[in-house]
């Protein structure tokens, strides 16, 4: 089932096949909220085991990257056909760790988004500002530029299955600090305006970066936030379930306010 609020986790380079099975066995046994589309993004080697363990449960499966070509001399890369063969639906593209560690460019991300769409995969495009851009008050324009470049040249009629994740680089990981709801509202508002103007109101903008059970409620309650993308706090099933429960409360409060 697909709901409009997305909540997911990328495990980055964590969890073996055995750990994946045990995590997902616990996750699918829990009552997951119908108001949310839950997704997990394990490592490549664990994808078949993840697919098998998820079975018919309402958990979407994603991969952490892919090459745009279907096959070829690209040592160490994974193709869209390989992901489809593993039963993957979502593909995460342009995470800041790949932009930094693998020098992934906006043009690379655009080629991957095009390929994902051509292969009926759901691209999850990650964008984010650096500390200097935050300090210069240029967060929103930096993120808007990345979104425009990632989606450049693609007909909007093909983009309805796309997901965008705003992940400030300064908010990610052990040394990161979560963005304030005010900052998130401002950046998400700017991205929402861009997407809505182009007829992409159905494309959700997720927030990621130091999300945990303590702040997920406030973030989910923030205008313009169409989902949460969680790292460390969701690397155990119990942790993820706590974040989901907190987000569910925040989302319910936001919906109650909207209908009051």
Residues that bind ligand LBSJTCU2 (CB under 6 A): 9-10, 95, 167, 172-173, 176, 208-211, 229-232
Closest CA to 222 of 142, 166, 144, 172: 166
Query: Annotated active-site positions, please?
Result: 95, 167
Q: In the complex, what is the shortest distance from the CB of residue 206 to ligand LBSJTCU2, in angstroms, rounded to a whole number?
A: 9
Closer CB to ligand LBSJTCU2, 14 or 69, in the complex:
14
Q: How far is the CB of 12 from ligand LBSJTCU2 (least distance, A)?
A: 7
Nearer to ligand LBSJTCU2, 209 or 250 (CB): 209
Beta carbon nearer to ligand LBSJTCU2, 72 or 213? 213
Least separation in angstroms between residue 198's CB and ligand LBSJTCU2 is: 25
Shortest distance in whole angstroms from residue 153 CB to ligand LBSJTCU2: 26
Nearer to ligand LBSJTCU2, 199 or 214 (CB): 214
CA dihedral 114, 130, 42, 205 (to 10 degrees): -60
Position closest to ligand LBSJTCU2 via CB: 231
Taking each helix axis as running N to C, give the angle between helix 17-29 and helix 47-54, from 0 to 180 degrees, rounded to the nearest 10.
20
Structure tokens belonging to residue 15? 């969890």
């Amino acid at each position: 089932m697909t709901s409009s609020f997305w909540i997911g986790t990328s495990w980055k380079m964590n969890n073996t096949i055995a750990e994946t099975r045990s995590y997902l066995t616990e996750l699918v046994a829990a009552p997951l909220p119908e108001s949310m589309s839950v997704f997990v993004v394990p490592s490549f080697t664990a994808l078949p085991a993840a697919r098998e363990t998820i079975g018919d449960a309402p958990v979407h499966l994603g991969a952490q990257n892919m090459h745009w070509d279907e096959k070829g001399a690209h040592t160490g890369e994974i193709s869209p056909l390989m992901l489809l063969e593993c039963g993957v639906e979502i593909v995460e593209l342009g995470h800041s760790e790949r932009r930094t560690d693998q020098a992934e460019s906006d043009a690379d991300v655009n080629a991957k988004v095009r390929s994902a769409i051509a292969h009926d995969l759901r691209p999850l495009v990650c964008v984010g500002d650096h500390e200097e851009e935050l300090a210069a008050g240029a967060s929103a324009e930096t993120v808007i530029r990345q979104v425009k470049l990632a989606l450049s040249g693609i007909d909007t009629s093909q983009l309805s299955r796309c997901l965008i994740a705003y992940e400030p680089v300064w908010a990610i990981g052990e040394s990161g600090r979560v963005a304030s709801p005010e900052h998130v509202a401002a950046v998400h508002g700017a991205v929402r305006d861009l997407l809505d103007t182009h007829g992409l109101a159905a494309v959700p903008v997720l927030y990621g970066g130091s999300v945990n059970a303590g702040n997920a409620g406030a973030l989910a309650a923030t205008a313009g936030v169409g989902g949460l993308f969680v790292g460390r706090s969701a690397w155990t099933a119990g942790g993820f379930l706590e974040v989901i429960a907190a987000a569910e409360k925040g989302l319910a409060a936001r919906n109650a306010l909207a209908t009051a």
